[in-house]
Chains A and B, each alone.
Chain A
Amino acid sequence: MSTTTVGGPPGTGADRTKRWYRARRSLQGVSFVLPNFLGFGLLTLGPVVALFYISFTNWNVFGKAKWIGLDNFTRLFGDAGFHRALLNTLYYSAFHIPLTLAVSLGLALLLNRKLRGVAFFRTAAFFPYVTSIVAIAIAWNLLFSRDAGPINQILGLVGVDDPPGWTASSDWAMPAVIIVGVWREMGYYMLLFLAGLQTVPPELHEAARIDGANAWARFRNVTLPCLRPTTFFVTVMLTIGSFKVFDLILVMTNGGPGQSTLVLSQYIYQKGLVENRFGYASAISVVLFALCMLVTVVQFAVNRRRNA
């Protein structure tokens, strides 16, 4: 990819033509990327870099950015709201990631067979993912209503005498949000797993079957290893998705009751865009950023070791 030409005395006509040709091709290549890169660099890359600078400053709308070193970060250590948001984010992720993974993989395995209605089901499963969070959050909120909500009525029918208050209760609000989160996203990840399952060679299954491996053994020793690239991708995407959860919570519970469903993204929004404390909000953003990077890097490392 280097533009210098090797061999041939410099300055000859043929060489100059060649160099000119290459330079022109490079320029053309760059011209393709440029329009998108201008927007991307200015609106994504720039802010990502600026984030780190702002996190070391004290800055609100009226003042100027004032460098205060690590003050924002030391203050975070003692901020109970931040602790709560961090723990809640981890709580959401700890359930949302494995549950979505298990359900979407299970459904994909089920759909990867010749059953009638599979096409219909694939569509149905994907539908929650494309519909707006606001509309589904509103619908689920009503479904979860404490007294005459359909979900508690159904729970009553199957013998639950004291059904949870769901979004009105500080213990049950997070589980309610997690349920809706899994419900919404499982179809998307199911499609990814279905695509991954297409790459599993049928001959391997056939061979394992001839060797007398039962369904579980075939799943463990053939399907899962072949699915590893998909599982890896899904896990990374799910993790990032869980860490940044926001809209769903904002509309369903607005972080409440109390702070029982307050998450990091919402805390950033609260501090930065409601209270206009840009520096402090950026420090929280850096923590969120670091969390995502850390998990992604660890997952990459684990994935690489498994593949080796």
Chain B
Amino acid sequence: MATLDTRADRRSPGIGRVVGYVVLALAAAGLLLPFFWMVSSSLKTDNAVFASPVTWLPDVPQWGNYLEIWRISDMLTWLKNTVFLSVVVTLLQLLTGSFAAYGFAKARFPGRNLLFLVYIGTIAVPWQAYMIPQFIMMSEVGLTNTPWSIIALQAFGAFGVFLMRQYYLTIPDELCEAARVDGLSEYGIYFRIMLPLSVPALASLALLTFVTTWNDYLGPLIYLRDPDLWTIQLGLKSFVSEYNAEHALIMTGSVLSVVPIAVVFLLGQKYFVQGVATSGLKG
């Protein structure tokens, strides 16, 4: 991280720094307190969740909540469904997205730039605007109420193509040119040079896609009516309606829906940040 104000800080080591830390500490508290409260409430009794004054830590941790929830809900099915969808969607995104991105960044064909503009343009169209025609189409071909609807919906996004293209543009053309001269085909260049070079970008795209699919609520809400197909988000929502007085268990379920994402996020944190930064640069 480049620092711009190091010199100013050195000149006035006092106030500015202290204010900076105070603001940071307050902001961090504000950001993390809801999560902290969620975890701590998941270990309380139902009555203690809304105790007055607020208790930030449970008196006696109710670990039993974490056993109980598996017994009374279909948590396992929901998690399995969500993992399946997230993994398949992510793989397809990586495959077709990076393949197309290579075409847009390094290959030449007539109409390439116009087509890419169409891709970019649709990123600015909210999904909610065309979900109705999409739904009609999916029901015509009988994909509604199957996991394939969600997979079809998420796997070919324009965002992945855009992100990967941004990355491929940073790889010098001379590299591909040299490979061509050496007799490597375009596919050879993609598989043997570009793909290995773009592992960081692929990791970014994989993490962003995985998280998006895992957290998606509206897609499954529209397409997955059968409780056996529900994702964790749908399951959690229905659980809340069914057990609306059992605040502690509701928080237990919420924690369980967040934990896998938290783990994925912490493991791949660097790539998340890179992916977001790349997608924000001009191309």
Binding site for B on A (CB under 8 A): 1-3, 25-33, 35-40, 43-48, 50-51, 54, 107, 110-118, 120-128, 130-136, 138-140, 142-143, 145, 147-150, 153-154, 183, 187-188, 191-192, 194-198, 200, 202, 205, 209, 215, 229-230, 233-234, 236, 240, 243-244, 246-247, 250-251, 264-265, 268-269, 272-273, 278, 281-282, 285-286, 288-289, 292-293, 296
Contact = CB atoms under 8 A, between A and B. Distances in A.
Interface residues of B, number: 102
Given A29-B186, A145-B50, 6 more contacts: A48-B125, A113-B9, A134-B236, A142-B247, A191-B277, A205-B4
10 contacts: A32-B102, A54-B133, A114-B9, A126-B269, A138-B251, A142-B49, A154-B54, A183-B34, A286-B129, A292-B129
Interface stretch (B69-77, B92-100, B195-203): B92-100
B128 A285 contact: yes
Contact of A143 (B34, B119, B157): B34
Contacts of A153: 52-54
B126 A198 contact: no
Contacts of B63: none
Interface string B103-145: 1100111101001001100101111111111111100000000
Nearest to A2: B110
B38 A139 contact: yes
Interface in B236-283: 236-237, 240, 247, 250-251, 254-255, 257-258, 261-262, 265-266, 269, 272-273, 276-277, 280-282
B8 interface: yes
A287 to B, nearest CB: 9
A37 B129 contact: no
A197 B4 CA distance: 9
Given A44-B122, A135-B236, A289-B129, A25 B28 contact: no
A143 B5 CA distance: 38
A3 B104 CA distance: 17
A110 B4 contact: no
Given A139-B254, A289-B129, A33 B104 contact: yes
B45 interface: no
B233 A134 contact: yes
Nearest to A37: B100
B178 interface: no
B15 interface: no
Most chain-B CB neighbours within 10 Å: which of A32, A139, A196? A32
Contact of B108 (A29, A40, A50, A183): A29
A136 B215 CA distance: 11
Most chain-A CB neighbours within 10 Å: which of B153, B155, B218, B233? B218
A132 B31 CA distance: 15
B37 A233 contact: no
Most chain-A CB neighbours within 10 Å: which of B96, B158, B187? B96
Given A32-B100, A40-B158, A150 B54 contact: yes
Contact of A282 (B35, B133, B158, B214): B133
- Identify the 4 closest CB pairs spanning chains A and B, nearest first: A39-B156, A32-B103, A29-B107, A29-B109
B49 A121 contact: no
A114 B217 contact: no
A44 B251 contact: no
B66 interface: no
Given A44-B122, A130-B272, A195-B280, A113 B20 contact: yes
A272 B124 CA distance: 22
B54 A272 contact: no
A273 B273 contact: no
Contacts of A45: 118, 122
Given A134-B257, A240-B126, A43 B132 contact: no
A114 B99 contact: no
B37 A139 contact: yes
Given A36-B99, A54-B132, A127-B35, A132 B152 contact: no
Interface string B1-42: 111111111000000010011011001101110110110010
Contact of A1 (B41, B102, B110, B126): B110
A70 B120 CA distance: 30
A33 B110 contact: no
Contact of A131 (B24, B251, B262): B262
Contacts of B112: 1, 29, 33
B50 A281 contact: no
Contact of A268 (B102, B131, B186, B254): B131
B237 A110 contact: no
Contacts of B171: none
A296 B131 CA distance: 20
Interface string B44-85: 000001111110000000000000000000000000000000
A48 B103 CA distance: 24
B211 interface: yes
Nearest to A239: B124
A198 B236 contact: no
